[in-house]
A = this chain, B = another copy of it.
């Protein structure tokens, strides 16, 4: 069996990583299969050895950010995944709303880079998106005290605040305003979560 299965899977992953970077930056429709394959060091035709349609790597790209996890490092706020509890939750809030994450379009969380594209996307794309959201909400919910809102509801609202803050910041043409939106979202998130007190990561 020439070309091991491992080799093929490596190539496939390379294509998805490349696709993710391009989709994050320019959206689904404005990226061509040609571009993806060329950026991955391959040629057009090979794409269909790995995927049946253009939407297939798109759905995978949405969750591909999870592969990178412990390596992710925005603004020196290393996500220490051995940390637990409110400390980890706070780290996520802080890291999510950094200037680094704002600028890192390629490596950005797809919930920021692609929400409107996903809303129009195929079911498998929306399912991948949901998986990402649920992952974030779970970490938050596990670290919220009981309240008038259930931890899960509060966690979902927090996710909305983070994602919304970054999405608005990215969509605006004024850097000072973008910074201010980020800072405001961060402050409100820490305030309503009660994680202000757990120390600066």
Number of copies: 2
**Identity of the chain B residue whose Cβ is nearest the Cβ of A150 in the assembled complex:** B184
- Contact among B130, B160, B171 for A111, CB-based, below 8 A: B171
Mark each residue of chain A from 106 to 117: 1 if its CB lies under 8 Å from any CB of chain B, else 0. 000001111111
- Would you list which residues of chain A between 36 and 84 have a CB under 8 Å from chain B? none
Stretch of A10-18, A86-94, A175-183 that contacts chain B: A175-183
Q: Is A149 an interface residue (CB 8 A)?
A: yes
Can you list 15 A-B contacts (CB < 8 A)?
A: A27-B29, A29-B29, A113-B116, A115-B116, A115-B168, A116-B171, A129-B171, A130-B172, A153-B180, A153-B187, A157-B181, A157-B187, A158-B188, A160-B185, A161-B188
Q: Is A19 an interface residue (CB 8 A)?
A: no
Q: Is A167 an interface residue (CB 8 A)?
A: yes
Q: Which A residues fall within an 8 A CB radius of B?
A: 25-27, 29-30, 111-120, 123, 126-127, 129-130, 133, 148-149, 152-154, 156-165, 167-168, 170-174, 177, 180-181, 183-185, 187-188, 191-192
- Contact among B25, B115, B148, B164 for A160, CB-based, below 8 A: B164
**Identity of the chain B residue whose Cβ is nearest the Cβ of A105 in the assembled complex:** B119
Q: Are B174 and A130 in contact (CB under 8 A)?
A: yes
Asked, given contacts A157-B185, A161-B157, A162-B164, whether A173 binds B27 with beta carbons under 8 Å apart, the answer is: no
